[in-house]
Chain A
Amino acid sequence: EPEVTQTPSHQVTQMGQEVILRCVPISNHLYFYWYRQILGQKVEFLVSFYNNEISEKSEIFDDQFSVERPDGSNFTLKIRSTKLEDSAMYFCASRGQINSYNEQFFGPGTRLTVL
């Protein structure tokens, strides 16, 4: 069964460092998403991506964040200068199409710890 994969599973970094979180969406999906979940809190939408550009982003997704689809399979989230409050689980998701009723498929997440 196709699945979304994410690497690494756990990333530890120093405050102010750049991190790149990687995702491989399901191969025939067209829409890609990043979410985060701070410990004990809700899953929060960060950004959606379609046709090689951001289609929607939340207020959390500020200039420190960027996304890219560098090739036909990977989808990355970059945080330029990490802050302590960026520590969270980051989930990638993909979806086949949005003009119908269908769900997003989530990856297992990357736990980011900023020290």
Chain B
Amino acid sequence: DQQVKQNSPSLSVQEGRISILNCDYTNSMFDYFLWYKKYPAEGPTFLISISSIKDKNEDGRFTVFLNKSAKHLSLHIVPSQPGDSAVYFCAASEIGGNQFYFGTGTSLTVIP
């Protein structure tokens, strides 16, 4: 049962443009959402998070948007840079919950 879904396995964007990565979830009990970035042969690195009391969280070039009614979140990267090329995973958990549920990842390629 896939509780967190990333329907786009890959995305290519020109350098300087906006990258939008999407994530959907099914469990209405999730109230904490995270994005992780993963380079080959490395572990996932935390990027940005959002709790369900917010609908937007911004950190530099990265902004996460949460639409609770649609059970959808997205990560915006503006402007995209070649160093952003990586696999991006969204994850979700319940507050006080132990487990993070991960999506399958979206491989982002930023073309110089």
Contact = CB atoms under 8 A, between A and B. Distances in A.
B100 A108 contact: no
Taking chain A's interface residues, is the majority helix, strand, or loop, or is none over half, making it mixed?
A: strand
B43 interface: yes
B65 interface: no
Contacts, number: 57
Interface in B54-112: 89, 95-105
B99 A56 contact: yes
B104 A98 contact: no
Interface in A87-115: 91, 93, 98-99, 101, 103-109, 111
Top 7 A-B residue pairs of the complex, sorted by shortest distance between their CB atoms: A106-B43, A42-B104, A43-B102, A103-B46, A48-B98, A56-B98, A106-B44
Interface of B: 32, 34, 36, 41-46, 49, 51, 89, 95-105
